[in-house]
């Protein structure tokens, strides 16, 4: 839920909720090809590509990793604070982009692996367990992104 200081608060109710939150960063780093590399590979102009490989891709990689690390630390700290039971997780305005970035990385990695496509056409009940769990995580990530976008980033 949105907070008065322009951030977001997520209330975990039990250990499963903390597990779900933890899955954001787990999914984010599970992709086969690093996102920075994939984006960098889009630059194919022979004059630009070497500079992109040398300077831009490492910068992108550092930014993406730093976002995931930030979110990992925030979740771990909030979980510790609550003893793994009911408790809040706060996302301040300053942290919002890190969160959005980590959630996007998680969704991209899930999409790469499971190829869901537009989610509105999928009935989770029709999916086998592993795919269903991944689909629900992706939907959860997307919902948090929507809240961040609506209440914090914009």
For residue 68 the two structure tokens come to 């995931």
Residue 18 or 135 with smaller CB distance to other proteins: 135
The tokens for 107 are 């969704």
What is each CA distance from 56 to 31, 59, 61, in whole angstroms? 20, 5, 9
- Which of these, 144, 145, 139, 143, lies nearest to 120 by C-alpha position? 139
Residue with tokens 């996102």: 35
Phi, psi (rounded to 5 degrees) for 90: -100, 135
CB of 26 vs other proteins, minimal distance in Å:
17
146 neighbors 96 (Cβ within 8 angstroms)? no
Compute how many residues bind other proteins; rule: CB under 8 A: 30
Site string for other proteins, 84-123 (x = CB under 8 A): ----------------xx--xx-xx--x----xxx-----
- Which residue lies nearer to other proteins by CB, 76 or 153? 153
Closer of 58 and 124 to other proteins (Cβ): 58
Contacts of other proteins in 6-45 (CB under 8 A): 35, 39-40, 42-45
137 binds other proteins (CB under 8 A): no
Nearest to 136 by CA among 30, 49, 27: 27
Q: How far is the CB of 153 from other proteins (least distance, A)?
A: 6
35 versus 89: smaller Cβ distance to other proteins: 35
CB 52 within 8 A of CB 113: no
Which of 6, 11, 48, 94 contacts other proteins by CB under 8 A? Answer: 48
User: What φ, ψ does residue 89 adopt, rounded to 5°?
Assistant: -125, 125
What is the contact surface with other proteins in residues (CB under 8 A)? Answer: 35, 39-40, 42-45, 48, 56, 59-60, 63-64, 100-101, 104-105, 107-108, 111, 116-118, 142, 145-146, 149-150, 153-154
């Amino acid at each position: 839920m949105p907070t008065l200081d322009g951030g977001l608060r997520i209330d975990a109710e039990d250990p499963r909720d903390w597990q779900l939150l933890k899955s954001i960063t787990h999914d984010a780093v599970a992709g086969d090809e690093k996102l920075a590399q994939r984006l960098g590979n889009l630059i194919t102009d022979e004059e630009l590509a070497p500079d992109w490989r040398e300077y831009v891709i490492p910068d992108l990689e550092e930014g993406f990793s730093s976002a995931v690390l930030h979110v990992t630390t925030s979740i771990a700290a909030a979980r510790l604070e609550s003893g793994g039971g009911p408790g809040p997780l706060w996302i301040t305005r300053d942290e919002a982009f890190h969160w959005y970035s980590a959630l996007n990385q998680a969704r991209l990695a899930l999409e790469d692996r499971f190829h869901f496509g537009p989610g509105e056409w999928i009935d989770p009940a029709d999916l086998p367990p592993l795919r269903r769990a991944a689909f629900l995580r992706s939907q959860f990530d997307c919902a948090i992104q929507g809240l961040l976008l609506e209440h914090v980033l914009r």
